[in-house]
């Protein structure tokens, strides 16, 4: 990542980011006075000051800010502090919204950058910390399924286009059972795979659903932080397990394998059911 220590950020002298107006933040993004977090790999994340970022765009939804606040309040997991969240309706994005989340820029290096420099004991230690974070998320009992606060469910478990909103656990169950039926009708899976009846009963737990190595920060002490909560929501715990089989293949193979080994034996039937609808999610998303 490029060194930006000499860059003059638009709000270098601001201490209270909650006091900034929506217009000031949006102007900093659209005027490009706020530099990219990583100029060599531009994404929709810009730096407002040395220690503050803004994540923005049409896929930045209120549920991400709400998930971050919930985790910060109810667990020991290190996540970016949310200073301000701005959401405006628009007809120019897929979900009809444009979001700006102003948050803390945490210190650390992505696990994706560090993984191949670690020996196996180091890899096992960091995976154990990720597993501990997952177990903490499981302790959060939530009656309403889906993104925190409602809205469209995003991530690889919900097609590339999102799904929902689901107004009840039954709606979420019916959606998954339909995807299973699609795969059976198209002869992509055996007909004896059971449907999801009774598998979506509250309470649910909080799941991240994108624990790719790029979304794990490791600081100088070896402590981890979890970032990029855009896919997070209240779902059964087996959703997190299945998500490790679907994180993109730019991730180290051994990282995915080690995490799957840690979780082996948990919710095997439910994970197989989610695996069975893969074709409907990616090759027949509109059926």
pLDDT digits (tens, 9 = 90+) for 244-268: 988 877 789 999 999 999 999 999 9
Q: What is the pLDDT of residue 2?
A: 46
What DSSP designation does 47 have? E
For residue 75, pLDDT over 90 is answered with: yes
Query: What average pLDDT does this structure show over 91-113?
Result: 95
Beta bridge partners, 54, equal 46, 102
pLDDT tens profile 114-143: 999 999 999 999 999 999 999 999 999 999
For residue 178, pLDDT over 70 is answered with: yes
For residue 108, pLDDT over 80 is answered with: yes
Domain ranges of the chain: 17-105, 110-282
pLDDT tens profile 38-47: 877 667 999 9
% of the chain exceeding 90 in pLDDT: 87
Beta bridge partners, 216, equal 226
Angstrom distance (rounded) from CA 13 to CA 244: 41
CB 101 within 8 A of CB 60: yes
Helix (H) or strand (E) holding 27: helix 22-30
Q: What b/e readout covers 133-165, taking b as 16+ CB neighbours within 10 angstroms? A: bbebbeebebebbbbbbbbbbbbbbbbeebbbe
Q: Lowest-pLDDT range, 1-5, 30-34, 49-53, 282-286?
A: 1-5
Q: What is the pLDDT of residue 43?
A: 73
Q: What is the pLDDT of residue 1?
A: 45
Task: Name which CATH class applies to 17-105.
Answer: alpha beta
The answer to pTM > 0.75 is yes
Q: What is the pLDDT of residue 250?
A: 75
Query: What average pLDDT does this structure show over 9-25?
Result: 91
Q: What is the pLDDT of residue 42?
A: 60
For residue 3, pLDDT over 70 is answered with: no
Cα dihedral across residues 251, 257, 262, 265: positive or negative: positive
Cα dihedral across residues 68, 71, 72, 73: positive or negative: positive
Identify which has the larger pLDDT, 6 or 53. 53
Same fold, 17-105 and 110-282: no
CATH number (3.10.20.30, 3.30.470.20, 3.30.2130.10, 3.90.1200.10) of 110-282 reads 3.90.1200.10
Identify which has the larger pLDDT, 282 or 8. 282
Query: What average pLDDT does this structure show over 175-183?
Result: 97
User: CB neighbours of 98 closer than 8 A, spacing ≥ 6?
Assistant: 56, 57, 58, 60, 87, 88, 89, 90, 92
């Amino acid at each position: 990542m490029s060194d930006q220590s000499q860059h003059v950020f638009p709000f270098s002298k601001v201490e209270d980011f909650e006091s900034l107006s929506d217009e000031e933040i949006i102007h900093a993004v659209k005027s490009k006075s706020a530099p990219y977090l990583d100029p060599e790999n531009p994404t929709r994340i810009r730096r407002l000051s040395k220690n503050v970022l803004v994540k923005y765009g049409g896929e930045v939804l209120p549920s991400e800010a709400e998930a971050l606040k919930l985790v910060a309040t109810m667990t020991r997991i290190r996540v970016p502090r949310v200073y301000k969240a701005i959401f405006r309706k628009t007809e120019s994005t897929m979900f009809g919204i444009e979001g700006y989340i102003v948050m803390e820029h945490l210190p650390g290096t992505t696990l994706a950058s560090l993984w191949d420099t670690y020996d196996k004991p180091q890899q096992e230690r960091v995976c154990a910390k990720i597993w501990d974070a997952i177990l903490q998320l499981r302790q959060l009992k939530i009656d309403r399924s889906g993104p925190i606060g409602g809205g469209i469910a995003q991530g690889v478990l919900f097609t590339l286009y999102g799904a929902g909103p689901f107004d009840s656990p039954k709606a979420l169950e019916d959606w998954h059972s339909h995807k299973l039926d699609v795969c059976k009708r198209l002869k992509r899976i055996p007909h004896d795979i059971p449907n999801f009846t009774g598998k979506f009963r509250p309470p649910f737990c909080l799941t991240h659903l994108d624990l790719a190595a790029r979304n794990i920060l490791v600081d100088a002490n070896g402590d981890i932080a979890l970032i990029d909560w855009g896919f997070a929501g209240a779902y059964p715990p087996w959703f997190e397990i299945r998500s490790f089989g679907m994180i993109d293949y730019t991730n180290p193979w051994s990282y995915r394998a080690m995490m799957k080994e840690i979780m082996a034996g948990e919710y095997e039937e439910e994970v197989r059911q989610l695996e069975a609808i893969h074709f409907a999610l990616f090759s027949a998303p509109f059926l």
